[in-house]
Structure 1
Amino acid sequence: MFASLIRRCFQTNKKIEKLTSLFPNESRKITTHHLSIPNMQRIALHQNMKYLQRSSPFWIQTSSFYVSSQASKMKKVEEPEKRELDLIRYDFKELKNSPKPALYLGCGGLIPFVSAPLFMAITETYFPELAFAQIAYGATILSFLGGTRWGFSIPENSPAKPDWLNLGNSVVPSILAWIALLFHDNLTEAAIMIVMGLGIALHYDLNLLPGYPSWLRALRTVLTVVATFSLIASIIIKNTYPEKRLV
């Protein structure tokens, strides 16, 4: 019975569409009365429409699910936003979250770098012993930076694997530090070698190799910049003020 009602409903809809296509101007005036539908058919059509209205939420949900599934398949995978100037825009914001021991020890490690040129600038005298002590300390720091990268690569869950790239580049700062100490007779060249080593170590940590946490990247940058300008200040003082030995 229900199947016959559905067929009659669809036949009625087809008749309406056919008449609408034949008389487009009179489409608004076409009703079921013009089709001479018997009372039983109109009652059946009315009941069928009520059934379809009751079941409409199910069809709406089914159709929306189908559309959403198709849209999800067609949707392109969004690429992660390219972060430009990560160090300035993102990492420096995490500097305040640095662990207190790392922050205090890192800033305290700048004292040997800063104290030597500061003392020579105040006395307006270039002391080669202080300059060499600054360079020797810089060589020690370079070896320390290479060792931290080596130690960062050793753990099993570390993002930096113990391959030739990571372990090989970890040795480079120590080699540059050793070469700098060989120029003890020419402290300018030794200071330039230390500056180059600091720059290369920072470049490795920020760009080439798997990076450290954001707070450490920012802290490393600040410490490297201060140490570099301290060495440059010693070179300027050497070429500006008269030389005098402490002993």
Structure 2
Amino acid sequence: MFAFLVTRCFRTTSKVQKLTAQFPNELRNIRIYHLLTPCTQRRIVIHQNIKYLQRSSAFWVQMSCFHVSSQASKIKKVEEPEKRELDLIRYDLKELKNTPKPALYLGYGGLIPFVSAPLVMAVTETYFPELAFAQMAYGATILSFLGGTRWGFSIPESSPAKPDWLNLGNSVVPSLLAWIALLFHDNFTEAAIMIIMGLGIALHYDLALLPGYPSWFRALRTVLTVVSTFCLVATLVIKNTYPEKKLVSDRK
């Protein structure tokens, strides 16, 4: 009777026999497990669950550390941008194409008085003091305008440049240099040198000491200052090269 019950309880089909032939180790573990007492079986299950939880918890801790470290690296990259000081060729001059059309056209149009004076004298191969003085006076006007631009930029409450002594005080310097240049109206060389110095100082203030302008304006300021300075230097060269002739002769 016992033999009959064993054969009935543990009788397997052909499919089960094939599976047991492929996985003999697993079948042995299953048979051993079933031969144990229910209390021992519960202990084995609890022990296996504890091991699984330990492995899973360690895995999630590692994954969370990796996730946090990756996010921290991203935040670090955002909070620590590349240092930028005075790199016009790499940054600001690329933004010249984004200049608003009115500012671009008016800025380039403002170069006409600077360019026309040395161009006319170079074509005629004659130095005209009246044209040179007109160019110098226009340069003094532009120099005063640049100082007023910084003053107006510092006044609004939302402006990044605060109305402190640094911003407002330095915005007055170009106007003073323009006034001194006009006092040397009888000596074009000294007046032109004063205007050139004022343009250089104003550009240095806007690019290095008093930041806050948008990149396109900084690029436009650089181009306009370089061209106007070159035109004043050209007039100085013409003055020392070609003969002088007045446009209107003095009649008694």
Q: Assess same fold via TM > 0.5.
A: yes
Gaps of 5+ in 2: 1-34
Distance of 2:195 and 2:212 partners within structure 1: 22
Structure-1 residue corresponding to 2:43: 44
Pairing of 1:182-193 with structure 2 (within 5 A): 182-193=183-194
Distance of 2:101 and 2:73 partners within structure 1: 49
The answer to whether the aligner puts 1:94 opposite 2:95 as a matched pair is yes
Q: 1:70 to 1:123 in 2, by over 3 A?
A: closer
The answer to whether the aligner puts 1:172 opposite 2:173 as a matched pair is yes
Normalization by structure 1: what TM-score? 0.77
Q: How far is the alpha carbon of 1:192 from its aligned partner? A: 0.4
Distance of 1:145 and 1:90 partners within structure 2: 22
Which entry has the higher C-alpha Rg, 1 or 2?
Answer: 2
Q: Is the 8 A contact 2:86 2:208 kept in 1?
A: no
> In the alignment, residue 146 of structure 2 is paired with which amino acid?
L
Structure-2 residue corresponding to 1:132: 133
SS in 1 for 2:89: helix
> In the alignment, residue 215 of structure 1 is paired with which amino acid?
W
Distance of 1:121 and 1:174 partners within structure 2: 30
Deviations 1:213-235 (A, max 9, x none): 00000000000000000000000
Q: How far is the alpha carbon of 1:49 from its aligned partner? A: 1.7
Structure-1 residue corresponding to 2:143: 142
Distance of 1:46 and 1:207 partners within structure 2: 73
SS in 2 for 1:242: coil
Distance of 1:109 and 1:166 partners within structure 2: 25
Structure-2 residue corresponding to 1:113: 114
> In the alignment, residue 52 of structure 2 is paired with which amino acid?
Q
> In the alignment, residue 158 of structure 1 is paired with which amino acid?
S
Structure-2 residue corresponding to 1:160: 161
Identity of aligned residues (%): 72
Point out the more displaced range, 158-167 or 69-78. 69-78
Structure-2 residue corresponding to 1:208: 209
Gaps of 5+ in 1: 1-37
> In the alignment, residue 244 of structure 1 is paired with which amino acid?
K
> In the alignment, residue 182 of structure 2 is paired with which amino acid?
L
Q: Is the 8 A contact 2:115 2:228 kept in 1?
A: yes
Distance of 1:232 and 1:56 partners within structure 2: 79
Structure-1 residue corresponding to 2:222: 221
Q: Is the 8 A contact 2:86 2:207 kept in 1?
A: no
> In the alignment, residue 123 of structure 1 is paired with which amino acid?
T
Structure-2 residue corresponding to 1:33: none
Q: How far is the alpha carbon of 1:81 from its aligned partner? A: 1.8
Q: 1:49 to 1:83 in 2, by over 3 A?
A: same
